[in-house]
Amino acid sequence: MFVKLTRSGPRSYVKLVEAYRDDRGVSRQRVVATLGRLEQVRTGGADALIRGLHRVIDGEEPQAPSVRFAPALAVGDTWMLHALWHKLGWDEAFRRVLRNAHGAFDAERLLRVMVFNRLCDATSKLGVLRWLEGTRVPGVDSTSVTHQRLLRTMDTLAERSEAMQRTLAAVLRPLVDQDLSIVFYDMTTIGMEGQSEVPGEIRQFGLSKDGGIRRQVMLGVVQTAEGLPIAHRVWAGNTAEAPTLHAVIDEILALYPVKRVVLVADRGLLSLDNLEWLQTVRIGKTAQPLEFILAVPGRRYGEFNEILGAVQAAQVRHLRAEILL
């Protein structure tokens, strides 16, 4: 016997059919039972019959298959970041800097985990562990990531920060225009919570960019015209903006040997000392001056006109000649 579907008008029926041979030996079929319309059978209309057959054949009713739900891990964004990390050569470059830092674990992999977390779902170090419960980072065994190891990796980064900065600059250098680089420098404030105090710490009370006085640190970032960040510095929260310019420019010129640099900064970095110093800066060991664009408040035009007059005249003549060429 077998199951057969037949149609009668718009409806389909499920029938139990038997094949047999008549007296002349001709193969024929006859309907043993009609189980019902197809939609009724699909919604359980024949379940009693099916269970009965199972009892006859197996001695028991069929059991619903056990279903086990496994947690799904987010992987798309981390796979993309992993491919970019490898393509830029950061894995090998940072591994060389962090080599022999810790024998029990690979500090570069933990650094990668923290960077990916900061880009995908920024959390604290403890939050990284919760994030890994639902995220897959290629090449990283999540069981090897502990809170203590994350903190030890951060300590190593602080100890080898200068080597990390040089290594990062070497990797980014091919992405920076070697003939002309327009760099933007700006600072912001990052508020800090907590009441603890540590001697010599950089969390200090200062004027926040959001307004008011709060405990904070100052963050300065340098990026190219294409939006590529190439350097950063962190200062105490009560540091004035203008005095930070010297250290940042010296660092950029040392890390990136560009033939011509144009610095763009806002009025927070404007001071008489900075203007005098900027006019003396040269690119590398050449006579090429550092070019700069600084915002000047309207009320101070007269104050800076005399200082910038000679520089402006020389630069305008140079630019006119450049345009004519």
- In this prediction, residue 80 carries a pLDDT of 95
Query: What is the pLDDT of the chain when averaged over all its residues?
Result: 84
**pLDDT category, 315, cuts 50, 70, 90?**
low
Which of 160 and 50 is assigned the larger pLDDT? Answer: 160
pLDDT in tens, 278-287: 888 888 777 8
What residues does each domain of the chain span?
A: 2-58, 76-162, 178-192+202-300
pLDDT in tens, 191-230: 988 878 888 888 899 988 888 898 999 999 999 888 888 8
Mean pLDDT over 315-321 rounds to: 57
Lowest mean pLDDT among 176-180, 209-213, 312-316: 312-316
- In this prediction, residue 320 carries a pLDDT of 55
Mean pLDDT over 172-190 rounds to: 85
pLDDT in tens, 126-139: 999 999 999 999 99
pLDDT in tens, 1-46: 778 888 888 888 888 888 888 888 888 888 888 888 888 888 877 7
Mean pLDDT over 242-246 rounds to: 86
pLDDT at 78 over 90: yes
Distance CA 101, CA 99 (A): 5
DSSP codes, 15-74: EEEEEEE-TT--EEEEEEEEEEEHHHIIIIITHHHHHHHHHHHHSSPPPPPP--PPPP-B
pLDDT at 77 over 70: yes
> If you search the block for the tokens 């359980």, which residue do you land on?
44
φ/ψ (deg, to 5) at 265: -145, 160
Which of 304 and 168 is assigned the larger pLDDT? Answer: 168
CATH code linked to domain 178-192+202-300? 3.30.420
Which of 54 and 98 is assigned the larger pLDDT? Answer: 98
- In this prediction, residue 114 carries a pLDDT of 95
- In this prediction, residue 286 carries a pLDDT of 79
- In this prediction, residue 1 carries a pLDDT of 77
Q: What length is written for the chain?
A: 325
| Residue 188 in tokens | 């912001």
**Closest CA relative to residue 116, chosen from 93, 100, 140, 147:** 140
pLDDT at 62 over 80: no
> If you search the block for the tokens 């992405």, which residue do you land on?
175
- In this prediction, residue 308 carries a pLDDT of 64
- In this prediction, residue 257 carries a pLDDT of 82
Q: Which distant-in-sequence residues (6+ apart) come within 8 Å of 271 by Cβ?
A: 242
